[in-house]
Amino acid sequence: MRVALIQQRSYESKEATIKRTLELIDQVAREADLIVLQELHQGPYFCQSEDPSRFDLARDFELDVEFWRWVSEGRNVVLVASLFEERGPGLYHNSAIVLDRGQIAGKYRKMHIPDDPGFYEKFYFAPGDLGFEPIDTSIGRLGVLVCWDQWFPEAARIMALKGAQLLIYPTAIGWFPEDPQEEKERQLDAWITIQRGHAIANGLPLVCVNRVGFEADPSGCLEGIQFWGNSFACGPQGELLVRLSTDQEEAQVVEIDLERIREVRNIWPFLRDRRVESYGCLLKRFCD
Amino acid sequence: MRVALIQQRSYESKEATIKRTLELIDQVAREADLIVLQELHQGPYFCQSEDPSRFDLARDFELDVEFWRWVSEGRNVVLVASLFEERGPGLYHNSAIVLDRGQIAGKYRKMHIPDDPGFYEKFYFAPGDLGFEPIDTSIGRLGVLVCWDQWFPEAARIMALKGAQLLIYPTAIGWFPEDPQEEKERQLDAWITIQRGHAIANGLPLVCVNRVGFEADPSGCLEGIQFWGNSFACGPQGELLVRLSTDQEEAQVVEIDLERIREVRNIWPFLRDRRVESYGCLLKRFCD
């Protein structure tokens, strides 16, 4: 499977941002079976402040889906889009849509919602209610998750137990310019490490696509976020297959061999040895 | 908390191996609050072949516990020992015992049991039946797990949910000499990465102590195992604090700051956002 990672900046308007996305897509579409876009790729990461007017960005969700469906048809690819979904008045989700050569293959609504200074997602997004369900496509069963999900081993494990063949994380994560350099390095390294850990634990390849570039905090409370790029793909032993830059837009294609899932799991048969009868505590918030 | 990692070879006899362990302990005991020994540190890794005569190694379990209790008292430390336990005729466990300055603080019986060429543990060890229970000591609540457990995010997570302050893995893992170099590198890297991932996912420091040196397969079926050392400790962002060599015996002390658990979890509040109501699938073998 040939997978394209599209890592880009946000531009002055939705139109300009999408135009740039299409340019990057067209650099690689002919060499790719699957194209993965970053989280909320149609515009800026608007969750840096809590602003009710930003809910308007979700109003065209159906049109947005139709547009990316059309893109997937024209390029003859499977496409993972990440969109702001208005489900009804006052009810919104951070959703990933999988488009399969002109068909809507499925939808995932972000399950784990962060809320930290500069990432006020609990204000914007209701927690997903579709569960952790892989999405079947013409090229395989895709375990699509979104950003904050990448810190939770449970999400990756459930996708694996449901037969996902590839873990996919559209993402928007970056540094605060005011943090010390050592903290920035620890954060970036932790982010890559934990996701490689999910690949290893589940014997699955993984693709993560992050945005790049600085976006100022429109509220002025914080300086803003320097999105750290470093989109990457790894194989089922966590081996890095490709890693993009920290500060440049890039469209890169990587070959992922799904046969390796079986090979690696046959030498590291973790799924055989899980002690499922002793895992009850995982269904509790805390076991005090 | 000052933690000593004791990484060593196996010698020609139990007596010689323990003598060397005590030498290494005495190099660091005065600087350490906690000493962690490798998996089944009293002798060779006997699971390279299935040989019923090896069950005799477990007969002195009670005496072994008494000996390491005495060591912990004499050195005034908390000690994690890894012993072959005869529970009754024909019933054996791979057990870790925590000795706290002369007291038996608790026991953990290895829950996940591997079985792969050269690691025939399902022949020797009944799966643990004590669950994933942290052990309280005078220096903190220790999440003691053993070797193969290190590949299972569930084990680390449950220890964290039960209030463990440090994840600890006595280990015996190595390379087959006949494997290609790239495969060896992937395996070692995966082993460190997934454990760092557990530290990150749970906001906990982690200590892993592995054996070192070549041990021939006594059955002659395989060449043997080159135990790869690389014992290490990391903090709650997965940041490496110390990493030992690939081929040398070593006793090293590392300072672990338990205050960082709270600091890191306060900026990365993963425990807040788990979707426990949607994790039911984790209690199944597979969700097909």
**Could B186 and A269 be called an inter-chain contact, meaning their C-beta atoms sit closer than 8 Å?**
no
Q: Tell me what the pLDDT averaged over chain A comes to.
A: 98
A131-158: pLDDT as tens digits: 999 999 999 999 999 999 999 999 999 9
Q: What is the reported pLDDT for A175?
A: 98
Q: How far is B269 from chain A (nearest CA, A)?
A: 8
CATH number of the domain at A277, please.
Answer: 3.60.110.10
Is residue A119 domain-resident? yes
A residues 11..70 contacting B (CB < 8 A): none
Q: A288 and chain B: CB distance < 8 Å anywhere?
A: yes
- For residue B76, give the nearest of B38, B42, B36, B32 by alpha carbon: B32
Is residue A85 domain-resident? yes
**Closest-CA residue of chain A to B198:** A194
Q: ipTM value of the model? A: 0.98
Q: What is the reported pLDDT for B278?
A: 98
Host domain of residue B174: 2-283
Optimal mutation site among B113, B132, B133, B152, interface A, most CBs of chain A within 10 A: B152
Rounded average pLDDT over B224-234 = 98
Is residue B177 domain-resident? yes
In this complex, the residue of A152, A193, A277 whose CB is nearest that of residue B193 is A193
A247 Cβ neighbours under 8 A, 6+ residues apart: A212, A213, A229
B226 contacts B188 by C-beta, under 8 angstroms: no
Indicate the number of domains in chain A.
1
Is residue B288 domain-resident? no
B64 Cβ neighbours under 8 A, 6+ residues apart: B42, B81, B83
Is residue A60 domain-resident? yes
Q: Tell me what the pLDDT averaged over chain B comes to.
A: 98
How would you classify the pairing of strands A135-137 and A140-144? antiparallel
Q: B200 and chain A: CB distance < 8 Å anywhere?
A: yes
A residues 148..177 contacting B (CB < 8 A): 148, 151-154, 157-158, 161-163
A68-112: pLDDT as tens digits: 999 999 999 999 999 999 999 999 999 999 999 999 999 999 999
In angstroms, the CA A251 to CA A29 distance is 10
Is residue B109 domain-resident? yes
Rounded average pLDDT over B144-159 = 98
A127 contacts B278 by C-beta, under 8 angstroms: no
B177-194: pLDDT as tens digits: 999 999 999 999 999 999
Is residue A288 domain-resident? no
A261-283: pLDDT as tens digits: 999 999 999 999 999 999 999 99
pLDDT band of residue A226 (cuts 50, 70, 90) is very high
A residues 112..141 contacting B (CB < 8 A): 112-114, 116, 127, 131-132
A221 Cβ neighbours under 8 A, 6+ residues apart: A49
Q: A286 and chain B: CB distance < 8 Å anywhere?
A: yes
Q: What is the reported pLDDT for B206?
A: 98
Query: Hey, which residues of A are catalytic here?
Result: 39, 110, 147
